[in-house]
């Protein structure tokens, strides 16, 4: 790393009650101890990591895409993303853009082999987490179906309304279109509901 390398430090505090000072002090010490120049600071204050739009982060991302930043340094991973999959997505984006990444707290440095290995482990854990969530979701849906619960958007007509509409149509008192209008749905919706009910 030369003194002419383009370095960015990013800090984020989620509430106005938190202080950015500790993060910035550690980040500034880190880059100063390495003799790095051309250091730019980006700070988001009162911004949650769950938000996709973070003003300073958006400026930083734009600078990275334009080649103005070659290494990004953060205090800890949780300052960067809201979840493990989100972090992996961000760090993958950095890797694809040819940008090195360092996190002080976790001692991750993707500019060397050990750091890249650590990141690959994170990516594997993120994929495992996604698969576990997917499996739990599928199991929950299957269990709900076995208990007779409807999965998906709420149905527009209750079982009682469908039975009433069937009675009106079968007795000849109303046409299907008129029965649908009576319950505030279109004819196709009523037809599907009648079909589901047999």
Helices 113-146 and 84-96 meet at what angle, rounded to 10? 140
Q: Which two tokens stand for residue 37?
A: 């120049």
Q: Pick from 38, 47, 48, 30: which is nearest to 8 by CA?
A: 38
Please state the domain extents for the chain.
7-120, 159-196
State the CATH architecture for 7-120.
3-Layer(aba) Sandwich (3.40)
Residue 26 Cα to chain centre, angstroms:
28
**Does residue 176 surpass a pLDDT of 80?**
yes
pLDDT (0 to 100) of residue 40: 93
Q: How confident is the model at residue 49 (pLDDT cuts 50, 70, 90)?
A: low
pLDDT (0 to 100) of residue 1: 45
Taking the alpha carbons at both ends of the chain, their separation in whole angstroms is 72
pTM for this entry? 0.58
DSSP state of 155: P
Model pLDDT for residues 118-141, shown as the tens digit of each residue: 767 776 666 666 677 777 777 777
Annotated active-site residue in 5, 14, 50, 103: 14
Distance in angstroms (rounded) separating the CA atoms of residues 49 and 47:
7
pLDDT (0 to 100) of residue 118: 73
pLDDT (0 to 100) of residue 173: 84
For 85-144, the DSSP string reads HHHHHHHHHHHHTT-EEEETTTTEETTSHHHHHHHHHHHHHHHHHHHHHHHHHHHHHHHH
Inter-residue contact 165 to 158 (CB < 8 Å): no
If residue 7 lies in a helix (H) or strand (E), which one and from where to where? strand 7-13
DSSP state of 15: S
Lowest mean pLDDT among 60-74, 125-139, 154-168: 125-139
Inter-residue contact 102 to 111 (CB < 8 Å): yes
What is the average pLDDT across 143-170?
A: 77
Concerning whether 19 is annotated as a catalytic residue, the answer is: no
pLDDT (0 to 100) of residue 15: 67
Model pLDDT for residues 88-115, shown as the tens digit of each residue: 788 888 888 888 899 898 888 887 887 7
What is the average pLDDT across 23-30?
A: 92
């Amino acid at each position: 790393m030369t003194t002419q390398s383009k370095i960015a430090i990013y800090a984020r505090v989620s509430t106005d009650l938190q202080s950015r000072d500790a993060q910035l002090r550690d980040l500034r010490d880190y880059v100063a101890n390495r003799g790095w120049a051309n250091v730019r600071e980006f700070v988001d204050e009162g911004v949650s990591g769950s938000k996709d739009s973070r003003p300073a982060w958006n400026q930083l991302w734009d600078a990275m895409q334009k080649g103005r930043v070659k290494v990004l340094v953060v205090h800890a991973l949780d300052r960067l993303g809201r979840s493990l999959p989100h972090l992996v997505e961000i760090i993958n984006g950095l890797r694809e853009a040819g940008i090195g990444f360092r996190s002080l707290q976790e001692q991750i440095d993707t500019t060397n082999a050990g750091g890249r290995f650590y990141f690959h482990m994170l990516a594997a854990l993120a994929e495992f987490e996604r698969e576990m969530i997917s499996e739990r979701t599928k199991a929950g849906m299957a269990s709900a179906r076995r208990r007779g619960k409807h999965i998906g958007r709420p149905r527009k007509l209750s079982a009682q309304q469908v039975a009433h509409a069937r009675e009106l149509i079968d007795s000849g008192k109303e046409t299907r279109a008129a029965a649908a209008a009576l319950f505030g749905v279109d004819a196709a919706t009523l037809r599907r509901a009648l079909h589901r009910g047999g």
